[in-house]
Structures are given as C-alpha cells and as structure tokens.
C-alpha cells in the first residue's frame, strides 16, 4: 500500500488506522488506477449517490434513510472542501470513521 494514502488521510484524522486504509485500497482495487475514479466529485449528484449506495449501504451496511446518509456525505464534502481533488480513499475513510466502522475494514 502506498504511503500517500495514509498521509492524505492523516491530514484529516489524528490517529490513522493503517489497516483500515489498506482495506479501503483493497476494496477499491483497480479503480484506483484511473485518476477520475480515484477521486470523489462533491458537485456530482450521481457520484454522491454512488458513494451512498455502493460504499455506505453495500460495504458498510448502513440502513439509515437516504436523507441521513446524504447529510453525512455532505458533511465529509464540507470537511474536505479545501481539496479540489478529493481522494476517494480518504473520503471513504472519513465516512467509515464517522460511523465508527474502521475496524470492519481491517479484515
């Protein structure tokens, strides 16, 4: 795993769980090779819907309604607003951290 992912997450999280970062990188796999797919666009409604449905609902098994999940996604967009290029690994890490699910990513 590239140290750059851990370093990017560390800009937002004080005690980075490197095993969780590795789990996210493993989950995303080949998608990280594409520059476009390795980033999250907070200005794209379709993109944010994919984050909600694929990451929060399918991977993290969140059952809150879409409105609640969308609010949390918006919160992470706000947290990362200074980054024009939002790293998907960091974005997903912050979502998992918000729901206290980092340990579920380390297996």
Could you give all domains of the chain from N- to C-terminal order, each with its CATH number?
3-105 (1.10.238.120)
Q: Are 10 and 90 in contact (CB under 8 A)?
A: no
> Which two structure tokens, joined as six digits, stand for 25?
């990188």
Q: Check: CB of residue 69 under 8 Å from CB of residue 57.
A: yes
Q: What is the pLDDT of residue 19?
A: 94
Predicted confidence at residue 1, as pLDDT, reads 55
Q: Give pLDDT, residue 7.
A: 95
Alpha carbon dihedral 94, 52, 73, 36, in 10-degree steps, equals 70
| Helices and strands in the chain: count of H runs, count of E runs | 5, 2
- The pLDDT, as a whole number, for residue 36 is 87
Give yes or no for a contact between 16 and 10, defined as CB atoms under 8 angstroms apart. Answer: yes
Digit-by-digit pLDDT tens for the chain (107 residues) are: 578 999 999 999 989 999 999 999 999 998 888 888 999 999 999 999 999 999 999 999 999 999 999 999 999 999 999 999 999 999 999 999 999 999 999 85
- Token couple for 33: 């090779």
CA separation for the pair 20, 13 (Å, rounded):
12
Two tokens, residue 107 = 């297996």
């Amino acid at each position: 795993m590239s140290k750059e992912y851990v370093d990017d997450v560390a800009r937002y999280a004080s005690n980075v769980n490197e095993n969780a970062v590795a789990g996210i990188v493993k989950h995303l796999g080949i998608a990280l090779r594409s520059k476009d797919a390795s980033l999250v666009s907070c200005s794209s409604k379709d993109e944010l819907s994919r984050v909600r449905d694929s990451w929060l609902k399918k991977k993290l098994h969140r059952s809150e309604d879409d409105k609640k999940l969308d609010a949390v996604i918006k919160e992470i967009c706000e947290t990362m607003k200074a980054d024009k290029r939002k790293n998907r690994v960091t974005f997903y890490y912050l979502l998992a951290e918000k729901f206290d699910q980092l340990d579920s990513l380390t297996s």
